């Protein structure tokens, strides 16, 4: 266990560095049709993708910022100053030896190769726009599992990916899904054939290196009938003075009887706008589980959802958000029940430290004609010091008499007496706080894969160290 | 270097109010001293001020541990230097198990980069739990959460046994205990007794001192020690009552 912890030692200090940029392809600042043509030309994309991107750009331009319900801080994003596409060498490397030395050094500091060697079936790590290193173990490929970057996925397997691409989350779902649809690059495309159970988690690691750069990865995972897959992503951005935008779109499709587990542990630098749309469709007897841990960023807006489309489908969201000074975690979950006997479970834990702010937004929808649907929602907030703020906005629409919904919310505080007690036993103030926070999230994290709960614990410790003056 | 916990001319305020007044006491290592006194006389204030609670202001005076002043140290630094406080009202820490909590406290005492040997740690933990008749299932329970009064106090002694302080202050460890629990707790303290520990046992009643025989007994009244003696002082106080202390103090004034 000690060895695992060392390998996954991915921390803010390590993230606090950057390498000289040497991008072979750079679309420049600002966004217009020319930017999209540049991206399509560099990537050699098919015309239908170019058309898709250009339509999305129009939708993006036509949509207002959602500041009527979300924070006004969104208005501080200057889209004309962002660089939308950067790439070193746009073809993914399959072998570690072929990866450029400086990129390799970054990944080594982040612990990527060890991860892969030890227990991961494949790694798809993204350095700025393109996957710089992509590999999948033979055992997984032999079963017919496809694990590619989004560009390769669309070009090499259009018959599989085009059918679902942009269907779970349409371009016009929101302003940022439209932006992503216009300029997406990178991300993972995964297809698991019927009945194949991928025994090890597939992993991607995202990292933003260039200043003023937007990262717009696009991920689509399809688990065919009875298939099972776990996907894990980690996110890190080094510190820059100016704001950086991360706006991903993640679509999951769980065919009848399939299981998808999607795990995110993000540790963004505190100047990143992290505006992500994540949604899944679960067909009959399928199970989709989102595990989402948000640490860092200036503003995170993310509400993973599951559309429960087939009978007895099940959706779960388990999320942890930690908002430190100057950070706003606006997170939640959406459960759209669209068939009988579908069940959903949402457990959200938020921690607000200093002037940090946490907001929970949840949507549960059960129309009148459905029978035997169940939802359970639990929102727990922990406040550390009196300036912290937490809000809960549950939107529960339940009609019909044969459906069941349960919602519980709690707010607790780490008291001065608790800190004193722990300090009297020899723990520093930061250690006492991180122990309380870890205790607060403990019942959730013990359900996570071990390596991720270890990483999360370490990230919380580092965040608490930084919050004690 | 003197091997003792020395409190010299200590004055402690809560807000504008002086609670501890020119307080003097020396506890040599290896001895157990008891402080008795009526409610509201400053016993618990003394305990928390020694530990460094931020609400208690040290107006003047000195506290030396083995000759070194501890008043400039943070709460956790005093703890790691060897001072332990068994709380009168132990605090609940939701989600943090006893095993993890004590382990974190022990890890905090190791040089950076060193980790506790887990099997050895659990072996020691189980031995001490058995001695204190704490069910082993408690290792996975959250610290003090939902514990009975007796369980909380035994858990305090367990932490003390695991952390091996040089000096311990036990603040009304007997309050809320039935006679069986009292005996277990006293036995736990007696096991630690010896050349490596100096202890200050704060109590309202003489009962505890039948089981933890003190080397010295001090009677505290209105923020000071007004009378000191051997264990017979505790018995005398028990039979005469605290009014006796009030009378002799006021007569002296």
Tokens matching residue A216: 């717009």
Residue in B closest to A430 by C-alpha: B76
> Given the DSSP bridges, would you call strands B93-97 and B142-143 parallel, antiparallel or unpaired?
antiparallel
- Kindly tell me if the per-residue pLDDT of B44 is higher than 90: yes
Nearest to B79 among A2, A416, A426 (CB): A426
Tell me the pLDDT of chain A averaged across its residues: 82
Say how far apart CA B199 and CA B116 lie, in whole Å: 27
Residue in B closest to A428 by C-alpha: B76
Q: Which residues of A touch B100 (CB under 8 A)?
A: 435
The strand pairing partners of A392, in sequence order, are: A360
Say how far apart CA A433 and CA A382 lie, in whole Å: 11
Mutate to test the interface with A, among B53, B76, B108 (most CBs of A within 10 A): B76
> Given the DSSP bridges, would you call strands A228-236 and A202-207 parallel, antiparallel or unpaired?
parallel
pLDDT tens track for A272-307 = 899 999 999 999 999 999 999 988 889 999 999 999
Q: What are the b/e assignments for A417-441, b being 16+ CB within 10 Å?
A: ebbbbbbbbbbbbbbbbbbbbbbbb
Phi-psi region of B152 (alpha: psi -120 to 50; beta: other; left: phi over 0): alpha
Measured between CB atoms, does A417 come within 8 Å of chain B? yes
Say how far apart CA B147 and CA B177 lie, in whole Å: 13
Chain A nearest CA to B237, separation (Å): 32
Check residue A11 and give its pLDDT: 40
Measured between CB atoms, does A20 come within 8 Å of chain B? no
Tokens 């007794």 label which residue? B193
Question: What stretch of H or E contains A255?
Answer: none
Written as one string, the DSSP assignment of A68-89 is: TTS-GGGGG--GGG-B--EESS
Q: Which residues of B touch A427 (CB under 8 A)?
A: 76, 104-105, 108
A9-18, A333-342, B171-180: which is most confident:
A333-342
Instruction: Determine, for residues B75 and A423 on separate chains, whether the beta-carbon distance falls below 8 Å.
Output: yes
- Kindly tell me if the per-residue pLDDT of A190 is higher than 70: yes
Chain A nearest CA to B76, separation (Å): 4
Check residue A303 and give its pLDDT: 96
Helix A175-183 vs helix A47-62: angle between axes, to the nearest 10 degrees?
150
Check residue A90 and give its pLDDT: 44
Instruction: Determine, for residues A424 and B84 on separate chains, whether the beta-carbon distance falls below 8 Å.
Output: yes
pLDDT tens track for B142-173 = 999 999 999 999 999 999 999 999 999 999 99
Mutate to test the interface with A, among B54, B94, B152 (most CBs of A within 10 A): B94
Q: Which residues of A touch B96 (CB under 8 A)?
A: 435-436, 438-439, 442
Averaged over B87-98, what is the pLDDT? 95
- Kindly tell me if the per-residue pLDDT of B46 is higher than 90: yes
A56 contacts A182 by C-beta, under 8 angstroms: yes
pLDDT level of residue A96 (50, 70, 90 thresholds): low
Instruction: Determine, for residues B79 and A439 on separate chains, whether the beta-carbon distance falls below 8 Å.
Output: no
Q: Which residues of A touch B102 (CB under 8 A)?
A: 425
Instruction: Please enumerate in sequence order all residues whose Cβ is within 8 A of that of B211, keeping only pairs 6 or more positions apart, or say none.
Output: B182, B183, B186, B187, B190
Instruction: Determine, for residues B76 and A418 on separate chains, whether the beta-carbon distance falls below 8 Å.
Output: no
Chain A nearest CA to B43, separation (Å): 18
Chain B nearest CA to A454, separation (Å): 14
Chain A nearest CA to B169, separation (Å): 12
Nearest to A426 among B95, B109, B115 (CB): B109
- Residue A296 has a CB neighbour count (10 Å cut-off) of 26
pLDDT tens track for B13-43 = 999 999 999 999 999 999 999 999 988 899 9
Measured between CB atoms, does A429 come within 8 Å of chain B? yes
pLDDT tens track for B175-219 = 888 899 899 999 999 999 999 999 999 998 889 999 999 999 999
Measured between CB atoms, does A469 come within 8 Å of chain B? no
Q: Which residues of A touch B54 (CB under 8 A)?
A: 416, 420
ipTM of the complex: 0.97
Instruction: Please enumerate in sequence order all residues whose Cβ is within 8 A of that of B67, keeping only pairs 6 or more positions apart, or say none.
Output: B1, B2
Q: Which residues of A touch B79 (CB under 8 A)?
A: 423-426
Averaged over B110-116, what is the pLDDT? 86
Interface of A with B in 227-286 (CB under 8 A): none
B206 contacts B189 by C-beta, under 8 angstroms: no
Question: Domains along chain B?
Answer: 4-92+166-252 (3.40.50.300)
Check residue A8 and give its pLDDT: 32
- Residue A6 has a CB neighbour count (10 Å cut-off) of 10
Nearest in space to B84 (alpha carbons), one of A84, A425, A238: A425
Nearest to B93 among A2, A439, A443 (CB): A439
Interface contacts (A, B; CB < 8 Å): 80
Residue in B closest to A444 by C-alpha: B95
> Given the DSSP bridges, would you call strands B57-65 and B216-221 parallel, antiparallel or unpaired?
unpaired
């Amino acid at each position: 266990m000690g060895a695992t912890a060392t390998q996954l030692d991915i921390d803010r200090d390590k993230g606090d560095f950057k390498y000289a940029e040497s991008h072979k392809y750079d679309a420049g600042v600002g966004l217009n049709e020319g930017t999209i043509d540049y991206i399509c030309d560099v990537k050699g994309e098919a015309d239908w993708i170019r058309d898709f991107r250009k339509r999305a750009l129009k939708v993006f331009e036509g949509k207002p910022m959602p500041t009527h319900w979300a924070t006004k801080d969104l208005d501080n994003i200057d889209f004309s100053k962002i660089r939308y596409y950067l790439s070193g060498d746009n073809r993914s490397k399959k072998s570690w030896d072929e990866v450029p030395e400086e990129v390799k050094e970054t990944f080594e500091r982040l612990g990527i190769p060890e991860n892969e060697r030890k227990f991961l079936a494949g790694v798809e790590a993204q350095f700025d726009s393109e996957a710089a290193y992509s590999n999948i173990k033979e055992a997984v490929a032999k079963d017919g599992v496809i694990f590619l970057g989004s560009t390769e996925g669309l070009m090499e397997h259009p018959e599989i990916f085009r059918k679902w691409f942009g269907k779970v989350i349409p371009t016009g779902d929101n302003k940022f899904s439209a932006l992503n649809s216009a300029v997406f690059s990178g991300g993972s495309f995964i297809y698991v054939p019927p009945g194949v159970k991928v025994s090890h988690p597939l992993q991607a690691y995202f990292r933003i290196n260039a200043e003023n750069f937007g990262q717009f990865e696009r991920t689509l995972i399809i688990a065919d009938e009875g298939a099972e897959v776990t996907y894990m992503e980690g996110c890190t951005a080094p510190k820059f003075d100016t704001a950086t935008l991360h706006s991903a779109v993640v679509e999951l499709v769980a065919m009848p009887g399939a299981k998808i587990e999607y795990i995110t542990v993000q540790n963004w630098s505190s100047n990143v706008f992290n505006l992500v749309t994540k949604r899944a469709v679960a067909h009959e007897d399928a199970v989709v589980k989102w595990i989402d841990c948000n640490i860092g960023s200036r503003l995170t807006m993310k509400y993973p959802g599951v559309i429960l489309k087939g009978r007895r489908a099940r959706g779960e969201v388990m999320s942890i958000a930690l908002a430190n000074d100057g950070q706003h975690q606006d997170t939640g979950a959406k459960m759209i029940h669209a068939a009988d006997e579908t069940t959903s479970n949402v457990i959200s834990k938020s921690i607000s430290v200093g002037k940090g702010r946490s907001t929970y937004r949840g949507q549960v929808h059960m129309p009148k004609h459905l029978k035997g649907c169940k939802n359970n929602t639990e929102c727990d907030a922990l406040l550390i010091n009196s300036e912290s703020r937490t809000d809960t906005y549950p939107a529960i629409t339940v009609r019909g008499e044969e459906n069941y919904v349960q919602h519980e919310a709690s707010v607790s505080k780490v008291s001065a007496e608790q800190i004193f007690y722990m300090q009297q036993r020899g723990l520093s103030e930061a250690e006492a706080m991180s122990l309380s926070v870890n205790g607060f999230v403990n019942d959730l994290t013990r359900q996570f894969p071990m390596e991720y709960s270890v990483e999360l614990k370490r990230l919380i410790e580092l965040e608490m160290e930084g919050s004690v003056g | 270097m003197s091997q003792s916990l020395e409190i010299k001319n200590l004055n402690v305020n809560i807000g504008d109010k002086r609670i501890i007044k020119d307080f003097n006491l020396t506890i040599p290592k290896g001895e157990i001293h008891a402080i008795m006194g009526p409610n509201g006389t400053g016993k618990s204030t003394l305990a928390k001020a020694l530990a460094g609670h931020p609400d208690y202001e040290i107006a003047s005076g000195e506290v030396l541990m083995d000759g070194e002043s501890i008043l400039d140290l943070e709460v956790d630094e005093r703890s790691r230097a060897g001072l332990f406080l068994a709380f009168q009202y132990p605090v609940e820490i939701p989600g943090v198990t006893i095993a993890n909590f004590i382990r974190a406290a022990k890890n905090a005492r190791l040089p950076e980069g060193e980790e506790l040997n887990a099997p050895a740690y659990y072996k020691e933990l189980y031995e001490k739990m058995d001695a204190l008749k704490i069910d082993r299932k408690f290792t996975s329970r959250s610290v003090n959460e939902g514990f009975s009064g007796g369980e909380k106090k035994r858990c305090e002694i367990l932490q003390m046994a695991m952390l091996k302080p040089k000096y311990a202050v036990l603040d009304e460890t007997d309050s809320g205990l039935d006679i069986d629990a009292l005996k277990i707790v006293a036995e736990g303290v007696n096991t630690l007794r010896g050349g490596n520990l100096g202890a200050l046992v704060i109590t309202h009643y003489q009962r505890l001192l039948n089981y933890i025989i003190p080397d010295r007994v001090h009677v505290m009244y209105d923020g000071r020690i007004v009378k000191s003696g051997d264990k017979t002082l505790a018995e005398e106080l028990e039979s005469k009552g605290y009014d006796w202390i009030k009378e002799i103090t006021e007569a002296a004034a």
